[in-house]
Amino acid sequence: MNNEGNGQQHSAKDVAIIEKDLRYISAIIKQKGRELLSNYTITPPQFVALQWLFEEGDMTIGELSNKMYLAFSTTTDLIDRMEKNELVKRVKDPHDRRVVRIHLLEKGEKMIDEVIQKRQGYLQEILTNFSTDEVLHLKDSLIKLHQEMKTE
């Protein structure tokens, strides 16, 4: 009996276990990320900003503030420090000179790429105890969970 996608209520116990495991997994990934960042001259919030720019391309400080759930002034300070370290630069939008976008520089791109590679290496190690089917099922389930959260 397959109850896929029919708006079914799931047991409170199962939901509680999933929520707890996701919280713990998130904390472990954050901690691992911080350990990896200790080799770089970058703070965790700067890393998050670089990651957004790496994945989404140039964006305004306002757009970045929204993505990071930070105040505009906090993001501005973050960008100032990252610009000093030559990780990003401010560029005028060619279509509207009043708009300033944050552009990821090669040094920032290289840094983010290295850290992501190391994170994926860590996850690869963890997943060696999973079968191919388990990995594919986990991937599909996480994609579905993420999609549902994005449409909320």
Q: What is the pLDDT of residues 69-86, one digit of tens each?
A: 999 999 999 999 999 999
Confidence (pTM)? 0.74
Three-class secondary structure of residue 92 per DSSP: strand
Reported as a pLDDT band with limits 50, 70 and 90, residue 1 is very low
Q: Which two tokens stand for residue 63?
A: 């757009």
Mind listing the pLDDT tens digit for each residue in 97-142?
A: 899 999 999 999 999 998 889 889 999 999 999 999 999 999 999 9
Residue 12 maps to a domain: no
Give the per-residue pLDDT at 5.
Answer: 58
* Cα–Cα nearest to 100, from 53, 60, 69: 60
For residue 137, the domain's CATH number is 1.10.10.10
Range of the domain at 44: 24-151
Residue 8 belongs to a domain: no
* Residue 77: Cβ within 10 Å count: 13
CB 46 within 8 A of CB 55: no
Number of domains composing the chain: 1
